[in-house]
Amino acid sequence: MVRHLAPILLAALAWSPVARAGGVISAEAAVVSDYVDRGISNSDNKPAVQAGATWTHGTGFYAGLWGSSVDFGDGDGATVELDYVLGYAGEAAGTGYDLAAAYVSYPGAPGSLDYDLWEFSAVLRRDLGPLVLGTEAIYTPQNAGKAGDALYLRGMAEVPLAEVLAGGLALAAHLGHQWTSEEAIAGPDYLDWGLGLVWARENVALGVRYSDTDLGHACGRLCDGRVVVEASIAFP
């Protein structure tokens, strides 16, 4: 489900469960210049390859597997992230929603690091004319490294700009905030934000965005401001 491609997130929620009656399997692949999640690089400021597959039932229930190359820059042995996802998506009163539980694992990382974790998320999406608004909440009961629980809230907006090269060009923005219960271990609470352009045509999407946080030097260069380029393709 390529859940970390923030500029493309709202567009990805526009599918209709009715059109997928009986259950279908879809897949996607992406290349990003930096795997940035909540404003922090998970690939040591280097490119990452990502892919996923999702089985979706006509009722709105779905199950998926998503993966990405990772590099935390500390020699911990983690080179891959695998997310196992169960969720339910639909629409009520003109608002799209997506509720999911994901088990996030890092094969290759020593078990003593306790990297694996659970995440529970809820996304809402609303079309207001050409403007698309969304909000996302992610709750983590126990952060990697037993760093306590965390809550991340993000607001998102997307507005079309023009038709370019037989595709649609849109401006996308987000503002998020993360709170943690163990700041001494997990790091301080912080804000992250992003602003970018997304071009989409049928099953292909290209994005470029600026991402930053207010963490300063709290996590070194992993949370500095950066420009991220993204390209994805979906099947079918």
Identify the domain containing residue 204 by its residue range.
Answer: 6-235
Q: Which residues of the chain have pLDDT under 50?
A: 1-20
How many domains are there within the chain? Answer: 1
Report if residue 125 sits inside a domain.
Answer: yes
Cα–Cα distance for residue pair 81/146, rounded to 1 Å:
18
Amino acid, res. 153: L
Domain of 127: which CATH number?
Answer: 2.40.230.20
* pTM for this model (two decimals): 0.88
pLDDT of residue 2: 39
Are the C-beta atoms of residues 11 and 205 closer than 8 Å to each other? yes
Q: Is 147 left (phi over 0), alpha (psi -120 to 50) or beta?
A: alpha
Report if residue 94 sits inside a domain.
Answer: yes
**Strand 48-56 relative to strand 61-69, pairing:** antiparallel
Percent of the chain that is helix, strand, coil (3-state, to 5): 10, 60, 30
pLDDT of residue 3: 45
Report if residue 1 sits inside a domain.
Answer: no
